[in-house]
Amino acid sequence: MAFFRRKKEKIGADGSARPPRHIAIIMDGNGRWAKKRGMPRTAGHAAGAETFRRVATYCRDIGVEYLTVYAFSTENWKRPKDEVDAIMSLIVRYLTEAVATMERDRVRIRIFGDTAPLSDEIKALIAKADEISDRTEGVQVNLCLNYGGREEILHAARAYAEEYSRTGRQISEDEFSGYLYSAGIPDPDLIIRPSGEVRLSNFLLWQAAYAELYFTQVLWPDFDERELDRAIEAYQSRDRRYGGVREEKP
């Protein structure tokens, strides 16, 4: 089964308008989705993984350049072992499928987060995905694994402090971004959180400074192309001023 399924044609979110360059998604609500159906939480994660596959394909087909998803946070290790094991098994499955198809489908995959605690199998798949991504052009999908926004900023601060101790070089805000896991890619234009929760939950705290936020009651496994269209249409209706003032036309 291909990691990305091709659609017959590309379509914009509203039939014509260009979508955001970078969309980020907090994939929330898998457990509640399963509970509502009398199923184990692991079934919700499996359903959520299929939603990710479908939404990622749709993002590629409508011209989104970067998609970043919150797959496993630094706090998720606190969950029951069988649930963590199930999530890790899904990660192995989809990374295995990805490395087999991403070059053909012109997809790059990058991992944001501390990979040290991950299994050797996952780390080997990440290394292979990095190798393929280095020689491939196309949409970039960023999987946040063992990721936390505060930890990312600390990681970047430590890296800069080490350089500063050697060189004494002071840096700008933009240069500091180069120490983040997301170095080299634009900040997200739109951050989507399904499931009814209205918070970022330690996701892309630095990068979210001027992102447009979109919240919906829909649980992640039920989030589909139509729901993404609604989020993009809401984004396109907003006036992004980045701290400035809108100029009124005479």
Query: Quick one: DSSP state of residue 20?
Result: P
Comparing CA positions, the residue from 223, 212, 222, 229 lying closest to residue 62 is: 229
Query: Quick one: DSSP state of residue 250?
Result: -
In DSSP notation, 158-191 reads HHHHHHHHHH-----HHHHHTTSTTTTSPPPSEE
CA distances from 219 to 2, 76, 222 (A): 25, 18, 6
Residues in the chain: 250
The dihedral of CA 154, 189, 67, 214: what is its sign? positive
Sort 201 into a burial class: Cβ within 10 Å, 0-12 / 13-18 / 19+: middle
At 198 the three-state DSSP class reads coil
Which amino acid would we find at residue 155?
H
CA distances from 67 to 21, 86, 130, 151, 244 (A): 9, 23, 16, 21, 27
- Please give the positions annotated as active site: 28, 76
